[in-house]
Structure 1
């Protein structure tokens, strides 16, 4: 495996005291089925509004500790959330950060990036185009390349979330997690499977790089057409994610955009949680029936990001 449970534990030690512990809240009885016990893991309350802060801090801190951070700082391509996290982590260490994002990135994310002091550069309409531009910038400037999901330090940092969940919820049976490029999924799987917890990996039907890779037995490029594409819009999953997806105890499911929109609305109507469509994707697996928990199954659903414009939710209330 490209990352191991030991990598996740090392990341947990490195970021301890610098990130917020995950907030866990029980779901109303019957929400996942009459006999199912469920919790929401509100990582949307993390620094910068998503789980990405964990991996970004682990990445930056590791390089600073090894005196491996160049004067030009760090550069990353992102749909928005990874860029926010990278800019935040870099600022915490006094390191310059350049963030390349698609022109289609939500304005709320662009504004937050600038507030964090990042050098923001909008390129193309998809993540892959921003990535290509960021790689060119790194080659010309000498900046350290980070990645939105495909790096061992990023994935291991994301996995620290699962370490906190299993510590708080002994006897947990299943964790449900949304997948874009697979960094969060890989880290969560490395931790969850070590603790005997099953993993349900959830993707939009129109943006399913991991599901396609599992079907093909290798990473493949996929088209990206989903309401959740701003955060789950990777054209291909990481090899690390595929390795973990092929392990026993992991299931990959798809949900339609309609279910994602409905799940996002449910989180607002019942909890007043304004989250991204990508963040509602995990819950959509349960509300749509893509994953049906068995009676008595103890389930945690990761709500991974809140960098959204809530005006459509508020207007419809």
Structure 2
């Protein structure tokens, strides 16, 4: 299964009344390693603090249209952000939500899940452990399963931010996104034939990078500062299909570079984002992606569910 721009456009129509149209900030030339101005898509201002609300609403609302949303509600597995989004979407339509997260999920995300009314289950040390438990729960109880990054409705919903971005910056040539999962898939499908998409991953979680090299999704080890939001062990089939079809470029950055990019966003712009969001900017700051002269570049700041205590100063 894959997705196209048409799927993204349908998602935009479906979720428009439920998500925020997030701002685009234009930063002066040279500030972050670009020869020209840099556009920052402030998606960390979205409901629940990440782009994930878009995909969650598309999945839940589409299921309700088909009569698949039963009183049992929804089940999701997440490192945190996807679960928050699903819990918020479910609460909005009056459905119950049960979210499985690894024990390593940040306390701030677990607390927010509970505040949204979700039943939280902490299972295992990695996303894959939570995923297997959630899948079993959904299969046994008849709940609607919401995948964090490998369902067509989820990916198409995430791509709606790219439709907004091109309305805000019609001449954009290249869009950098953190990770290589559902966000990359949705954005690349939305921009196919219109703009280049670059997936930026930590060297410690190179799912897209390894998949493109191998010609298929493969398992990778998971570790590092962005593991809570970019911590899937394997690239999804939808993401791989879209990346291969659309010629998505993959680059890698180190944990130290991600930490530095996150701090720069705070120091220079007073923007507080999580490490997964700073990953995309790190590619520009460290030269992993080098724009050509005259190239119009945008970076998606995809999430802000983080503890800002280490950003003081």
Structures share a fold, TM > 0.5? yes
Alignment partner, residue 182 of structure 2: 183
Alignment of 1:76-155 (within 5 A): 76-155=76-155
CA shift at 1:191, angstroms?
A: 0.8
> Equivalent residue for 1:225?
223
2:299 paired with 1:301: yes
> Residues 36 and 294 of structure 1 are in contact (CA less than 8 Å); yes or no, is this contact kept in structure 2?
no
Say if 1:127 and 1:233, in contact at 8 Å, map to a contact too.
yes
Aligned-residue Cα RMSD (Å) equals 1.1
Distance 1:248 1:221, change over 3 A: same
Report the alpha carbon displacement of residue 34 of structure 1 after superposing the two structures with TM.
6.1
- Measured after TM superposition, the shift of residue 168 of structure 1 is 1.1
Following TM superposition, where does structure 1 have runs of at least 4 consecutive aligned residues deviating by more than 4 angstroms? Answer: none
TM-score, L = length of structure 2 = 0.98
CA drift of 1:248 comes to 4.9
Q: Could you tell me the TM-score, scaled by structure 1's length? A: 0.96
Moved more, 55-64 or 26-35: 26-35
Q: What is the CA deviation profile of residues 106-128 of structure 1, one whole-angstrom value per residue up to 9, with x for unaligned ones? A: 01001100010000011111000
Residue pair 2:174, 2:297 contacting (<8 A) in 1 also: yes
SS in 2 for 1:224: coil
- Would the aligned equivalents of 1:79 and 1:127 in 2 still touch at CA under 8 Å? yes
Contact 1:33 1:295 in 2 (8 A): no
Number of residues paired by the alignment? 313
* Cα drift, residue 27 of structure 1: 1.2
State how far apart, in whole Å, the 1-side matches of 2:152 and 2:198 are.
Answer: 21
Please give the alpha-carbon distance, in whole angstroms, between the structure 1 residues aligned to 2:86 and 2:45: 17
Secondary structure of 2:120's match? strand
Tell me, what secondary structure is at the counterpart of 1:306? coil
| CA displacement 1:165-217 (0-9 Å, x = unmatched) | 0111111110000115x1000000001124x1011110000001111100000
Cross-structure match for 2:259: 261
Instruction: Indicate conservation of the 8 Å contact 1:175/1:199, yes or no.
Output: yes
Segments of 5+ residues of structure 2 without an aligned counterpart are none
Counterpart of 2:203 in structure 1 is 205
Mapped contact 2:5–2:192 kept (Cα < 8 A): no
